[in-house]
Amino acid sequence: MTSGTSSPVTGGAARSGPATGGTGTGGAGVGAPAGGPRGRSARATGPRTGRPSAVWAVPGLLYFGIFAALPMVLVAYLSLTSWGGLGSPEFIGLQNWTRLVNDPLMHRAIWLSLLLTVLTWAVQTPISLLLGVWAAGPQRNRAVLSALFFLPLLLSSAAIAIIWRALLDPNFGPLAWLGPVLGLPTVNLLGGSNSAFLVIVFVSSWQFIPLHMLLYQGGARQIPASLYQAAEIDGAGRLRAFWHITLPQLRHTITTSSVLMVVGALTYFETVLILTNGGPGTDTTIVPFLMYRAGFRSWELGYASAVAFTLVVVATLVALLLVRFTGFGSMRSTKEGL
């Protein structure tokens, strides 16, 4: 396999390169075409470019279209129907939408979702930024510790929610044991409306800070060391260097990470389902959970679609921001300018 990559790199040896590399990638494919192109006919009719026709994009586009893009359109249509899961959806006009606009549960869900978004952002950004910048340092102990900090990422959302539910269990969990030891009354954190919400903020931070820490670590490693050396010559201390060099240099990373956090918080679902089931009462029923509840518990799939469509609109707006501010749209090579 290595010969396959190393020989084309030399460029001049390209003619022999693909032939040797071909044995690794597809032995059968090499035999036939390798003989053909060498013949005069191919070259006489003009050089082949090896460029793919647009047909190459069709399977991917079709597949994505059917299972991701078409549902985007369908969700808009379904929001105008009444559908219980069996039979076919029945068109009812804007009824779901008038209901949605007047649904106090939906108002609450939107408020809670926004609150969750803002809180998780405010908790996660400073912590992951500081940890990431710290982990970007060359010291060996930092590498070891960051490897440890990475561990929550190996757990699925479901696993994390189950772990925290067990840890916070008022009867069997460590918290029940820790309370008396510290002389505190045993509290059911998942039973109180504010505390349950804060638990969700905490657990989502516990889950996602490692990811964002990695983003910031990567970002901080890109900062040229010469900037810090210059700052030191100017007599800037650690704090000022952080404020005037690290933070401005990380602004793209901050944008990317923030967008991911916002989209993540808007679509936060598993953890709520497992940890609180939207409760106590409806105190942690955020928009995605409300959608699930309306759709797959009450089987009001039309109404659920209206809720979902609201999510699509918000998510699309965020997507446009993402494309606009992080420069994904410019399709630039990472090696450009080097």
Partner 1 sequence: MTVRLAEGPSGSPARQRPGPARTGPTPTRGRSKRDRPNVLAGMGVALWLVIVALPLYALLIATVQRAENYTSSGPFTPPTDPTLGNYWRAIENGLLGFVLNTAIVTAAVVAIVVALASMTGFAIVRSRTRWTTGVFRVFLLGLAIPSQAVIVPVYLIIVQLGLYDTLTAIVLPTAAFALPVCVLILVGSMRDISEELYEAMALDGAGSVRTFLQLVVPMSRSGLSTIAVYAALQAWNGFLFPLILTQSPDKRLITMGLFEFQGQYRIDIPGLLAAVVLSTVPLFLVYLFARRSLVQGMMGVGGK
Q: Which of residues 245-284 bind partner 1 (CB under 8 A)?
A: 256-257, 260, 263, 266-267, 269-270, 274
Per-residue 3-state assignment (H helix, E strand, C coil) for 121-186: HHHHHHHHHHHHHHHCCCCHHHHHHHHHHCHHHHCCHHHHHHHHHHHHCCCCCHHHHHHHHHCCCC
Distance from the first to the final alpha carbon of the chain: 27
**One residue of 114, 187, 241, 254 binding partner 1 per CB under 8 A:** 241
**One residue of 80, 117, 149, 285 binding partner 1 per CB under 8 A:** 149
Q: b or e along 43-66 (b: 16 or more beta carbons within 10 Å of the residue's beta carbon)? A: eeeeeeeeeeeeeeeeeeeeeeee
Tokens coding 303: 């109404």
Binders of partner 1 among residues 200 to 239 (CB under 8 A) are 206, 210-211, 214-215, 218, 225, 228-229, 231-232, 237-238
State the Cα torsion 329-332-333-337 to the nearest 10°: -150
> Does 60 interact with partner 1 (rule: CB under 8 A)?
yes
> Does 329 interact with partner 1 (rule: CB under 8 A)?
yes
User: Angle CA(68)–CA(310)–CA(67) in degrees, nearest 5?
Assistant: 10
Binders of partner 1 among residues 91 to 120 (CB under 8 A) are none
Window contacting partner 1 (CB under 8 A); options: 70-78, 107-115, 184-192, 193-201: 70-78
The closest of 251, 247, 252 to 227, measured between CA atoms, is 247
> Does 158 interact with partner 1 (rule: CB under 8 A)?
yes
Which is closer to partner 1, CB of 197 or CB of 303? 303
> Does 301 interact with partner 1 (rule: CB under 8 A)?
yes
The least distance separating partner 1 from the CB of residue 23, rounded to whole angstroms, comes to 10
Tokens coding 124: 């996660």
**One residue of 112, 173, 196, 284 binding partner 1 per CB under 8 A:** 173
Which is closer to partner 1, CB of 151 or CB of 185? 151
The least distance separating partner 1 from the CB of residue 259, rounded to whole angstroms, comes to 9
**One residue of 44, 55, 140, 185 binding partner 1 per CB under 8 A:** 55
The least distance separating partner 1 from the CB of residue 101, rounded to whole angstroms, comes to 19
> Does 53 interact with partner 1 (rule: CB under 8 A)?
yes
Distance CA 261, CA 209 (A): 10
Residues 6 or more apart in contact with residue 240 via CB below 8 angstroms: 231
Peptide bond into 185 cis (omega under 30): no
Window contacting partner 1 (CB under 8 A); options: 30-38, 92-100, 113-121, 188-196: 30-38
Distance CA 186, CA 170 (A): 7
The least distance separating partner 1 from the CB of residue 290, rounded to whole angstroms, comes to 11
Using an 8 Å Cβ cutoff, are 110 and 101 in contact?
no
> Does 323 interact with partner 1 (rule: CB under 8 A)?
yes
Three-state SS for 274? helix
The least distance separating partner 1 from the CB of residue 239, rounded to whole angstroms, comes to 10
- How many chain residues interact with partner 1 (CB under 8 A)? 133
> Does 164 interact with partner 1 (rule: CB under 8 A)?
yes
Window contacting partner 1 (CB under 8 A); options: 96-104, 114-122, 183-191, 301-309: 301-309
**One residue of 123, 131, 201, 250 binding partner 1 per CB under 8 A:** 131
User: Angle CA(50)–CA(330)–CA(245) in degrees, nearest 5?
Assistant: 130
Beta strands, E only, the chain: 81-82, 90-91
